Amino acid sequence: MRMSSRNQRQSVAITRRNFLKISIAAAALAACSRIPGASAITSDSTTIGQLPATLTPATLPAATAQSPTAVPQTVEPLKRPALAWLAANRLMYGPRRGDLQHIDDIGIDGFIEEQLSSNATDDAGLQAKLAPLTTLNMNAAQLVQFSQGARANILMELEQATLLRAVYGARQLHEVMVDFWTNHFNIYFGKNQDRFLKTVDDREVIRPHTLGKFIDLLDASAHSPAMLVFLDNQTNRKGNPNENYGRELMELHTISVDGGYTQDDVVAVARAFTGWTVRGYNKNNPNPDAGQFYFNAKEHDSDAKIILGQTFPAGGGEQDGQKVLDLLAHHPHCATFISAKLARRFIADQPPSAAVLAGAAAFSKSDGDIKATLGAILHGEDFKNSFGQKVKRPLDLLASALRALDADTDAGAPLIGALALMGQPLFQWQFPNGFPDSNGAWSGAGAMLMRWNLGLALGANAIKGTHIDYPALTQGASGEAIDNLSTRLLGAPLPADVREILKPFTGDTSTLAALLLASPLFQMKG
């Protein structure tokens, strides 16, 4: 990530003594874990006891170095703060000031319903930050007129808008679900005309339908020029069907690889979507309809088809594709597949069967209503007991850090670059399956190093276009600075033995923030 030379010197000029202090503090934080269902953070006394007894020339109190606080056997849960922390990190991109108290006040079930039904309007502050991103509201014909050099700006502005909305957006669950569906219906920005079509897909396909009916989202995706280009359906013609879209429509978008379809079904679905294509463009003779969907009846295979055991009579035309979408969206395997993916995102990599079944039942009963499906999953006990089971992906990590620190950011190139360094360059996953949603994909040594560097850079205020007002961060808060900041970033005060080890950083809020941001507890989604 790019930093100003002055701030870069700040962030890397670490003496041997400071390195020792930081290393020991990081080790102490690594020994911390959260007790499920309670507000408390506890520490591994064995690990703490093995740390050096001196952090500076002054020796720490003997009780801290030699007799660390034992891990409590039982912790009495407070009102509901741990559930508030879980909800804020799963249904939101992490809490901002006041969010935990709000969730605590209305209860987790009330908060779930609030987020599911939210019609909040994003505030003027966010709109002001989005206003300079002029390509967000352009249609495909306008975007295609950009020069080759300017097309890079299209991607940058789309990435910036995504991060800005995650940080400042009022409808947080909506933004979380936009990310979910963006990966479910993944489109690689760099493929052919998708360099200018993906912006339209984000605006007109994903965002308007993200908490509506699945069939409407599926239909919008099937008509999306960006999707048709990415999966090669614009070349799908009678007599020479291209199977890419038909295969991924079943395998990744609806009934999954376990959905019981055959290769004959793949071919038949491809035939049903022949003629679903995209209007071309000519830079020398601009077409105002360039990049728009249209059905080319001359290229449609009008013969009869059999798909998943159902006969499609000859002469169906464009309705062949519509009938396929309806058939797949109402297939029992679709309900289970979508529910399992949602449970994996919000609960655990291996989602509990009870949560999956509850979501699938709600999906089927509600005709694929995404809110109803989510509600069945989130109100269940499996979600409420899922502490410590999901690692933040890079977008989650960065957005949650910026929210927790009340950062003022333009989400510019340094932060977008940081996402790429951590393994999640937005809209640039090249395969149809989207960025992985499993802990193992984001927990490698290289990825963790990049996360640590991000914490250091944010702590040092060393990222151009992003500023954190550290003096104001805990202004008006009662108690010690370490408790205030750890509660802000981790949701609870640190154990006494860890707090003692961090005391040398009491007057150095930026380094303390960097340590907490890089800690394992902050890497977890609740």
Does the pLDDT value for residue 424 go beyond 80?
yes
Distances (CA, A) of 213 to 66, 217, 357, 433, 435: 60, 7, 19, 21, 23
Least confident of 89-98, 118-127, 191-200: 118-127
Q: Is the pLDDT of residue 253 over 50?
A: yes
Residue-wise pLDDT for 486-508, tens only, equals 989 999 999 999 999 999 888 88
Mean pLDDT value across residues 68-76: 36
Which CA distances in Å does 115 have to 119, 126, 136, 387?
9, 19, 25, 20
Nearest CA to 202 among 175, 235, 239? 175
Decide if 444 contacts 469 (C-beta within 8 A): no
Contact yes or no for 515/456 (Cβ under 8 A): no
- As a whole number, mean pLDDT of residues 449-459 equals 89
- For the segment 471-478, the average pLDDT, to the nearest whole number, is 73
User: Which structure tokens are listed for 181?
Assistant: 């569906």
Tokens of 139: 């249609």
Q: Which residue has the higher pLDDT, 75 or 377?
A: 377
Tokens 């352009």, residue located: 138
Decide if pLDDT at 58 tops 60. Answer: no
Residues 341-399 pLDDT 10s: 999 999 999 999 999 999 999 999 999 999 999 999 999 999 999 999 999 999 999 99
Query: What pLDDT digit, counting tens, does each position of 261-277 carry?
Result: 999 999 999 999 999 99
Answer with the residue of higher pLDDT: 84 or 68.
Answer: 84
Pairing of strands 466-467, 408-409: antiparallel
Residue 7 has pLDDT above 50, yes or no: no
pLDDT over 70, % of the chain: 87
Confidence class for position 70, pLDDT limits 50, 70, 90: very low
Cβ atoms of residues 403 and 94 within 8 Å = yes
User: What residue has token string 């008006």?
Assistant: 476
Q: Which uninterrupted H or E stretch holds 221?
A: helix 214-222
How far from the centroid of its chain's Cα atoms is residue 89's Cα? 11
Q: At what angle do helices 148-168 and 172-184 cross, to 10 degrees?
A: 140
Confidence of residue 93 (pLDDT cuts 50, 70, 90): very high
In this prediction, residue 12 carries a pLDDT of 40
SS3 278: strand
pLDDT of residue 476: 63
Write the CB contacts of 1 (distance below 8 Å, at least 6 apart in sequence): 414, 415, 417, 418, 421, 453, 454, 457, 463
What is each CA distance from 217 to 47, 202, 225, 326, 370, in whole angstroms? 50, 12, 14, 12, 10
Reported as a pLDDT band with limits 50, 70 and 90, residue 63 is very low
Given this model, what pLDDT does residue 255 score?
Answer: 98
